[in-house]
């Protein structure tokens, strides 16, 4: 692929693909992320058209969006997802592979800028020095995704200057309630959950019943998230197509 550069005749098609949610506020925030991404790319001198797509729950689905793009024009899928999982390794990978001239960027995490956002969300939720912290990731059976979540917990620990336990909302152990209970059993007087989730939705709603003293808001809104997506796009464009494309 030869991606569009500043001054190129045709813009680069960026398909910003989210999971999808039935939560109205989650939908609004993810759409806002697409707007922030357009502004960040424009400020970086990248002529891009941002397309909306989803892998679940919402329409339009990624496959139909890619199929509708002009043939022969360059495109890149930007996963609005925080780590590797089934949706990146199967849904997005297969959809992109079916269309020529299409790259796929990596998921947003891990990224030290996300640790800064998580720390800010903890402060907003009432976190105090000495409170135990559990990083709540969505969860995946893929070891690569679990390693990424663990690295994100390490980055947050470095940001806070204290230990952070990683736990999962589904598909992997420990579960968030188990991690919170373990922290209390180990002597923590207060336990906070740092929600490593992009926006409000099913998983974030479940955290309220996990037994913690405070639960942070999701990562969005914030232009920092768009900058993380833009960074992954830049990495993928610099690397170019794989040998198997």
| b/e burial code for range 182-199 (CB count within 10 A of at least 16 → b) | bbeeeebebbbbbbbbbb
User: Whats the size of the chain, residue-wise?
Assistant: 245
Question: 3-state SS of 199-216?
Answer: CCCHHHHHHCCCCCCEEC
Per-residue pLDDT of the chain (245 residues; tens, 9 = 90+): 444 444 445 889 999 999 999 999 999 999 999 999 999 999 999 999 999 999 999 999 999 999 999 999 999 999 999 999 998 989 999 999 999 999 999 999 999 999 999 999 999 999 998 999 999 999 999 999 999 999 999 999 999 999 999 999 999 999 999 999 999 999 999 999 999 999 999 999 999 999 999 999 999 999 999 999 999 999 999 998 864 44
For residues 49 and 51, what is the distance between their CA atoms, to the nearest angstrom?
Answer: 6
Q: Which domains are assigned to the chain? A: 12-108+222-239 (3.40.50.1400), 112-215 (3.40.50.1400)
Quick one: pLDDT at residue 9?
Answer: 55
Angle between helical axes of 112-125 and 223-239 (0-180°, round to 10): 170
This prediction's pTM: 0.91
For residues 75 and 87, what is the distance between their CA atoms, to the nearest angstrom?
Answer: 18
For residues 81 and 54, what is the distance between their CA atoms, to the nearest angstrom?
Answer: 11
């Amino acid at each position: 692929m030869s991606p569009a550069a500043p001054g190129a005749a045709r813009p680069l098609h960026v398909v910003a693909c989210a999971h999808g949610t039935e939560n109205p506020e989650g939908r609004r925030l993810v759409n806002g992320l697409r707007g922030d991404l357009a502004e960040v790319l424009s400020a970086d001198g990248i002529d891009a058209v941002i397309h909306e797509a989803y892998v679940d729950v919402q329409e339009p689905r990624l496959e139909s969006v890619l199929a509708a793009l002009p043939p022969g024009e360059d495109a890149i899928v930007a996963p609005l997802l925080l780590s590797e999982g089934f949706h990146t390794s199967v849904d997005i990978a297969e959809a992109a592979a079916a269309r020529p001239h299409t790259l796929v960027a990596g998921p947003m995490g891990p990224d030290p800028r996300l640790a800064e956002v998580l720390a800010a969300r903890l402060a907003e939720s009432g976190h105090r020095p000495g409170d135990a912290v559990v990083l709540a990731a969505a969860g995946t059976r893929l070891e690569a995704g679990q390693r990424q979540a663990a690295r994100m917990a390490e980055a947050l620990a470095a940001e806070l200057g204290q230990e952070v336990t990683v736990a999962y909302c589904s598909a992997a152990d420990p579960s968030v309630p188990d991690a919170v209970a373990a922290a209390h059993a180990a002597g923590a007087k207060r336990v906070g959950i740092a929600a490593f989730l992009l926006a409000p939705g099913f998983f974030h709603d479940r955290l309220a019943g996990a037994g913690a003293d405070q639960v942070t808001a999701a990562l969005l809104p914030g232009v920092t998230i768009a900058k993380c997506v833009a960074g992954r796009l830049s990495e993928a464009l610099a690397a170019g197509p794989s040998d198997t494309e």
